[in-house]
Amino acid sequence: MSQVAPSAPVPAPANPDATAVPGAPATIIVIDDDRAMRLSCEKILAKSGFRVQSFESGSAGLEAVSGLKPDMAVVDLKMPGISGMEVIARLHEIDPQIVIVVITGYATIDTAVEAMKSGAYDFVPKPFSPDELRLIVKRGLEHRRLVLESQQAEMERELLRRRFVTFVSHQLQTPLVAIHQYLDVLRRLDNPDPAKLHEWLDRCLTRTDEIQAIIKDWLTLAKVEGGQLVHQRAKVDLTRTIAEILKTYEVLAAAERITLENRMPEEGCPVVGDQNGLSVLFDNLVVNAIKYNRPGGKVAVSVERTPAEAVVSVADTGIGIPEKYRKLLFGEFFRIQDAKKTPGTGLGLAIAKRVASEMGGSISVDSEVDVGSTFRVRLLAWREPDEAQETGRA
């Protein structure tokens, strides 16, 4: 080894700049026919925590790319054999997202510009200081991180779009098909039995309600996403909000002999939020707690308060949620297989989650299968402006 090689082993990267993908050090290849240049680049970059490997020719570098999968390539433009420009083109053929920085021999801006036109991200003119190289590499890796992130986001959007198509074709089409078939068969009957006629028309109405519910939830979700549901962060009394919601569902709960327990503090529970948003949020949680309960079960709403937060719990004695589903639960269109017999749109919890976060809060769930689930909504407690602030403002 020459005297420029690092004397101590390269430490693991503590430096977050050294990663393109979180958790892994970025890999950089250096392609330069000048041995001294290769060694100094290796030394500078290894010291910053990158994994570095250098090659003396374009063909050697290109050969290694598929195996190494580097995040970045530092390429000398003037080399014998395959030219730097061709190396750039071939590197991009292998990985369109690889970041390429070119080293230009004589500070010839023209060749650097030409290289950037053919896809290089940046250039570093010789001679350069270690800091100049590090800065350009850091910028390049940041660029790669952003590109990879937007690619990931695009993939997630595509997945959501596909799920949406499946959702529309199934959940919206299923009730329509059922209604259509009832009507089609009824139309063919000369003298339909009045009891049957009634029964089927009732079913048709129930199924139109199902479509209405899907459309309603769908629009609510769109409103939350568009920032049109949660308008303000004002003082809202949760004790009153919860009492009103529980009253709305007394009949539904009584039909299943479910007890609704309001354990909210009588003196009130002020939180920061939007009245409409909070009503939608807890409406969804209370309805779920009733729907996915057992006959004779219980729904209890309570709160734990600190000066900063109010954590509201909606607890049921229902079917529970298997561990594997808990992460997916708040996603759009997600429904647990066993729960599919209970009518639902698969959007209620997605709405609840969005609303909570719009108000600076969050939502989580604890559950035990066949024992019950507890949904916890963490909200900011409302604090009256104290005297000092009042006088200060006056």
Partner 1 sequence: MPLSAKVLMIDDDADCRASVRHLLESTGYTVVEAECGKDGLRRMVEHRPDVILLDVMMECASEGYSVTQAIKHQDCFSDYRGIPVIMLSSIQESPDELFPMSPESELIRPDRYIPKPVDAGLLLGAIESVLAARKPPAV
What are the DSSP E strand ranges found in 57-133? Answer: 72-76, 99-104, 122-125
- Among residue numbers 202 through 261, which ones bind partner 1 (CB under 8 A)? 203, 207
In the complex, least distance from residue 341 CB atom to partner 1, rounded to whole angstroms: 10
Give CA angle at 100 (96, 104), nearest 5°: 145
Candidates 4, 185, 205, 219: give the one binding partner 1 (CB under 8 A): 185
180 near partner 1, judged by CB under 8 A: yes
Residue 151 as a binder of partner 1 (CB under 8 A): the answer is no
User: Edge-to-edge strands of the sheet including 259-262?
Assistant: 259-262, 298-305, 309-316, 372-380, 362-368
Beta carbons of 375 and 314 less than 8 angstroms apart: yes
Examine residue 198 and tell whether it contacts partner 1 (CB under 8 A).
no
Q: What is the CA radius of gyration of the chain?
A: 31
Q: Which stretch binds partner 1 (CB under 8 A): 104-112, 180-188, 345-353, 382-390?
A: 180-188
CA count, 13 A, side-chain hemisphere, 121: 23
Return the structure tokens found at 298: 């219980």
Q: Which of 177, 205, 254, 255 binds partner 1 (CB under 8 A)?
A: 177
**By CB under 8 A, what part of segment 317-346 binds partner 1?**
337, 340
Q: Which helix (H) or strand (E) holds 303?
A: strand 298-305
User: Cα–Cα distance between 345 and 190 in angstroms, integer?
Assistant: 36
Of these, 97, 152, 169, 259, which contacts partner 1 (CB under 8 A)? 169
Closest CB 342 distance from partner 1, rounded Å: 14
Judged by CB under 8 A, which stretch of 143-151, 173-181, 276-284, 378-386 contacts partner 1?
Answer: 173-181
- The binding site for partner 1 (CB under 8 A) comprises 166, 169-170, 173-174, 176-182, 184-185, 188-189, 196, 200, 203, 207, 337, 340
